[in-house]
Structure 1
Amino acid sequence: MTPARTVAGLCLLAPFLGILWVDSYARVEPTLIGIPFFYWYQMLWVLISALLTLVAYRIVRHEQAATARLRTESPRTAESGEER
């Protein structure tokens, strides 16, 4: 596994850890616009999860593009005349 994929995996793991540890947010205070912490914390994780999923997607796509570029620019394939 590459370091980029590890970072992408951690981006996808963070929301699970943030939501599954219920004791950390099972309370009423502090409220936000009259909304108890328990609810707005979970709604905040919806936005954070979307952003982290986007980051993970971009990391993986960038790595795939770099790998494809390396395959097409490989000197060994160009010398032997092989095509993939």
Structure 2
Amino acid sequence: MATETSKSISTWRKVIAGVLFVIPWILYTLLPVYNTIQPELGGVPFFYWFQTLWLLISAILFVIGVLLLYPGKR
């Protein structure tokens, strides 16, 4: 049954989902880009609020990726 489902999913959906899954991983590996204290947001250094923001963005990207891979199961 799993093979039938994977055959019915178009290739473009798999590619877009893969890209959405990889975007946060690439960003988290670029630590020197966001490893700074300034600017602060509400007294919280950039490093912490940037990571927290990307946790939310990552969750949204993962949900979109799953919806692309499993369009009939909502």
Pair 1:59-2:68 in alignment:
yes
**1:49 maps to 2:67:** no
**One-letter code aligned to 1:19:** Y
Residue 31 of structure 1: SS of its match in structure 2?
A: coil
Q: Secondary structure at the match of 2:70?
A: helix
Q: Percent identity?
A: 33
Q: How many Å apart are 1:19 and its aligned residue?
A: 1.0
TM-score for both structures, normalised by structure 2: 0.79
Equivalent-residue separation in structure 2 for 1:25 and 1:48 (angstroms)? 16
Deviation track 1:47-67 (CA, whole Å, cap 9, x = no partner) reads 0111001000100112xx4xx
The alignment yields a C-alpha RMSD, in angstroms, of: 1.2
2:19 to 4, 7, 10: 10
Q: Which has the higher contact order (CA 8 A, sep 6+)?
A: 2
Aligned counterpart, 1:37 = 46
